[in-house]
Amino acid sequence: MKMAGVPSLPSRIDTVEWFFSPADLIRVMDWLRRNSEGDKGKDVRAVLSKNPGISIDKTQYAWVGFKGGSEPGVINLTLLLQGTDGAWYAASASWNDTTAPVEDMRFAMLMAALVKFAGPPK
């Protein structure tokens, strides 16, 4: 369904878009993790964990923080995860295409597989 005013193709994503690397985003998530421990950080963690972004196995991860977004030609998924073993994990990836929309669902499925297989054993 085409919505008025919403582009269906990438628009200037190489000049006006987000330029943080996945490594930068993981550093931000780690900073948030370290600086939101305890009672004073509960609101930060509540916001990050509102939407997990992808399907997560709760027997593998006790807590999931997510920030991501997409538009035609761009997607980013960045996750901060605490395993049920107590260890912390992070994953971030971006996909940009200046000429065509990216496959959001395919990308989300690949990230879900990465988080499942690179994380703690169940």
Distance CA 114, CA 93 (A): 10
Check which CATH number belongs to the domain holding 26 and give it: 3.40.710.10
**Cα dihedral sign for 98, 94, 101, 1?**
negative
Please check whether residue 77 is in contact with residue 18, taking contact to mean a CB–CB distance below 8 angstroms.
Answer: no
Residue 15 within any structural domain of the chain: no
Looking at the structure of the chain, the number of domains it has is 1
Residue 3 within any structural domain of the chain: no
89-100 average pLDDT score: 95
Distance CA 13, CA 31 (A): 27
- pLDDT of 1 > 70? The answer is no
How confident is the model over 96-122, as pLDDT tens digits?
999 999 999 999 999 999 999 999 987
User: Which residue segment(s) compose the domain that 100 sits in?
Assistant: 22-117
How confident is the model over 33-68, as pLDDT tens digits?
999 999 999 999 999 999 999 999 999 999 999 999
Residue 2 within any structural domain of the chain: no
Structure tokens at 66: 């997510």
Percentage of residues of the chain with pLDDT beyond 90: 80
- pLDDT of 94 > 70? The answer is yes
